[in-house]
């Protein structure tokens, strides 16, 4: 058999774990597309499927723009595409399974249409176990590239086409900041803005610090410039993105914090500012003050709890206790009583007892979250928690998840019921996919609303009267 593979760089977990004092380079010229590659995709269509978090969604926006710089055109149907790319997520095993399921479907398609080029990128590409599996069983794939290699996509693609072999280019580095990537944004009204990359928290269950490198904040001037540009294009909302946005600025050589950034972003005058995700450890009083004093910073905070048991929080390496979390929660709710607060919770962490789980339920009962993302612990190869004794049976994990979801849903409905009859501001994003007669949008507090109203309101922030409250969404009509 022909050796169909060119490994330029393979991921390395030990290297990905490294954290040194090495300077982060801000590269404003890293994405360069050679003249002859600008026509590579002429007459060809691409399809990119995104798994995982908002960070990945925004990476996909960059990838799409790069492909269009190469003259590819987008298709929504993978069966029509000449180039299929899966931008993957490594956070839990279930996404792995979905990705490999999709790879299976692509294989069938490629058997019928051998000219198709297929590849994977994103966080799974950063995992040694995944790349080894691809080398063992999926060598028919054409490209694999990592989260630090996006700017080099034109070269990776052209090398694979030229040599007709699998190109693997996955850097396992602490990472730099690349400032000149183009973006093809999904929405004309709201935009994702990376404010930082990577994470240094190393929560024991989490793969992100390995797949995304060390914490690197973008310089404030680049962020503000990007937002000003978006305002000039009539954007209404920006969401500042990072794995742990409250730690923004700590790695910069200037004295500048997330509170400073939020204030400066608010001053640009953009109508809505959001930010995700917050780690309770870094949530400062100054931030709460800034949110309170600036009407265009939305009263919505995602505050991951993960567990309500101090013993489990310690094993998770979360750096707070049930008590300090609750104190922070109350501080936020007192300063911002109208705000909605959501959370993330993991059940079935190694060693979690019924008592530990009940402590989580206690916190949920106290906080009465607007909603929560709940997960069963998923061991990630290379993380400390994957080596802990996972002694909770799957049946128990499922029962706990079910019990937690019932509680979470009852509070979600309760929180939504409070909106009945109220008039709230909603950014109308478009026409509902489920019901073409309705519009959809989000309130300032991030509640999804199905709205009766004229299509001319798309892209506007309008007053909506809430007529019905459900667990996951609200119904309303434009006033």
317 CB-contact burial (10 Å; exposed 0-12 / middle 13-18 / buried 19+): middle
Report the distance separating Cα 167 and Cα 139, nearest Å: 10
Residues 87-106 that bind ligand 5AD (CB under 6 A): 91-92
Smallest distance from ligand SF4 to CB 92, Å? 12
Report the distance separating Cα 349 and Cα 370, nearest Å: 24
Report the distance separating Cα 243 and Cα 63, nearest Å: 20
Smallest distance from ligand 5AD to CB 280, Å? 11
Q: Is residue 244 within the footprint of ligand SF4 (CB under 6 A)? A: yes
Residues 191-220 that bind ligand 5AD (CB under 6 A): 205-206
Torsion angle (degrees, nearest 10) of CA 396, 398, 402, 407: 60
181, interface contact from ligand 5AD, ligand SF4, none, CB < 5-8 Å by kind: none
**Number of C-beta neighbours around residue 79 at 10 A:** 14
Smallest distance from ligand 5AD to CB 91, Å? 5
Q: Which residue, 96 or 279, has its beta carbon nearer to ligand SF4?
A: 279
Report the distance separating Cα 363 and Cα 359, nearest Å: 6
DSSP state of 297: B
279, interface contact from ligand 5AD, ligand SF4, none, CB < 5-8 Å by kind: ligand SF4
Binding range to ligand 5AD, per CB under 6 A, among 3-11, 148-156, 371-379, 397-405? 371-379
90, interface contact from ligand SF4, ligand 5AD, none, CB < 5-8 Å by kind: none
Asked if 189 and 429 count as a contact pair (C-beta separation under 8 A), the reply is yes
Smallest distance from ligand SF4 to CB 348, Å? 16
230, interface contact from ligand 5AD, ligand SF4, none, CB < 5-8 Å by kind: none
Backbone angles phi and psi of 139, in degrees to 5 = -70, -10
Backbone angles phi and psi of 320, in degrees to 5 = -145, 165
430: left (phi > 0), else alpha (psi -120 to 50), else beta?
left
Q: Could you say which of 49, 73, 184, 201 contacts ligand SF4 (CB under 6 A)?
A: 201
Binding range to ligand 5AD, per CB under 6 A, among 18-26, 284-292, 330-338, 373-381? 373-381
Q: Is residue 250 within the footprint of ligand SF4 (CB under 6 A)? A: no
| Beta partners for residue 118, in sequence order | 84
Q: Could you say which of 279, 302, 400, 447 contacts ligand SF4 (CB under 6 A)?
A: 279
300, interface contact from ligand SF4, ligand 5AD, none, CB < 5-8 Å by kind: none
DSSP state of 423: E
Show the tokens assigned to 77: 């149907």
Show the tokens assigned to 311: 């013993």
Q: Could you say which of 120, 157, 196, 203 contacts ligand SF4 (CB under 6 A)?
A: 203
Report the distance separating Cα 58 and Cα 197, nearest Å: 12
Report the distance separating Cα 194 and Cα 275, nearest Å: 10
202, interface contact from ligand SF4, ligand 5AD, none, CB < 5-8 Å by kind: ligand SF4
In what helix (H) or strand (E) does residue 251 lie, and over which residues does it extend? Answer: none
**Number of C-beta neighbours around residue 208 at 10 A:** 23
Q: Which residue, 91 or 449, has its beta carbon nearer to ligand 5AD?
A: 91
Residues 417-476 that bind ligand SF4 (CB under 6 A): none
91, interface contact from ligand SF4, ligand 5AD, none, CB < 5-8 Å by kind: ligand 5AD
The residues binding ligand SF4 (CB under 6 A) are 199, 201-203, 206, 208-209, 243-244, 279
User: Which residues sit at the interface with ligand 5AD, rule CB under 6 A?
Assistant: 91-92, 205-206, 304, 306, 344, 346, 375, 377-378, 380
């Amino acid at each position: 058999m022909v050796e169909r593979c060119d490994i330029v760089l393979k991921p390395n977990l030990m290297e990905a774990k490294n954290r040194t004092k090495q300077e982060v380079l801000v590269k404003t010229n890293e994405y360069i597309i050679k003249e002859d590659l600008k026509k590579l995709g002429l007459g060809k269509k691409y399809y990119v499927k995104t798994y995982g978090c908002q960070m990945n969604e925004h990476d996909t926006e960059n990838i799409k723009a790069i492909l269009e710089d190469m003259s590819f055109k987008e298709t929504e149907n993978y069966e029509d595409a000449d180039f299929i790319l899966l931008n993957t997520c490594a956070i839990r095993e279930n996404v792995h399974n979905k990705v490999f399921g999709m790879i299976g479907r692509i294989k069938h398609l490629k058997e019928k249409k051998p000219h198709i080029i297929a590849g994977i990128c994103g966080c799974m590409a950063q995992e040694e176990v995944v790349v080894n599996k691809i080398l063992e069983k999926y060598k028919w794939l054409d490209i694999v590239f990592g989260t630090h290699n996006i700017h080099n996509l034109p070269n990776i693609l052209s090398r694979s086409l030229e040599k007709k072999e699998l190109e693997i280019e996955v850097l396992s580095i602490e990472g730099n900041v690349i400032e000149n990537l183009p973006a093809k944004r999904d929405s004309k009204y709201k935009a994702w803005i990376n404010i930082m990359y990577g994470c240094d928290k190393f929560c024991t269950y989490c793969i992100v610090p390995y797949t995304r490198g060390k914490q690197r904040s973008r310089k404030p001037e680049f962020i503000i410039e990007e937002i000003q540009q978006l305002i000039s294009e009539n954007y209404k909302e920006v969401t500042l993105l990072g794995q742990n946005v409250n730690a923004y600025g700590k790695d910069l050589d200037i004295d500048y914090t997330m509170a400073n950034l939020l204030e400066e972003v608010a001053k640009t005058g953009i109508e809505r500012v959001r930010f995700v995700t917050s780690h309770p450890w870094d949530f400062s009083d100054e931030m709460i003050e800034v949110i309170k004093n600036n009407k265009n910073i939305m009263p919505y905070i995602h505050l991951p709890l993960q567990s309500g048991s101090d013993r489990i929080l310690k094993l998770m390496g979360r750096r707070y206790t049930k008590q300090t979390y609750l104190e922070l929660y109350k501080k936020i709710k007192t300063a911002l009583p109208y705000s909605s607060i959501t959370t993330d919770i993991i059940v079935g962490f190694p060693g979690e007892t019924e008592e530990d789980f009940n402590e989580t339920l206690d916190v949920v009962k106290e906080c009465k979250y607007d909603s929560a993302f709940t997960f069963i612990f998923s061991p990630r190869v290379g993380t400390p928690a994957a080596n802990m004794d996972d002694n909770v049976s799957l049946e128990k994990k499922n029962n706990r998840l079910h019990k937690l979801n019932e509680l979470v849903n009852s509070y979600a409905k309760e929180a939504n019921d409070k909106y009945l009859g109220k008039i709230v501001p909603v950014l109308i994003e478009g026409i509902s996919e489920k019901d073409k007669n309705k519009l959809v949008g989000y309130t300032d507090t991030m509640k999804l609303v199905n709205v009766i109203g004229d299509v001319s309101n798309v892209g506007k922030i309008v007053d909506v009267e809430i007529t019905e409250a459900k667990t996951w969404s609200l119904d309303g009509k434009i006033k």
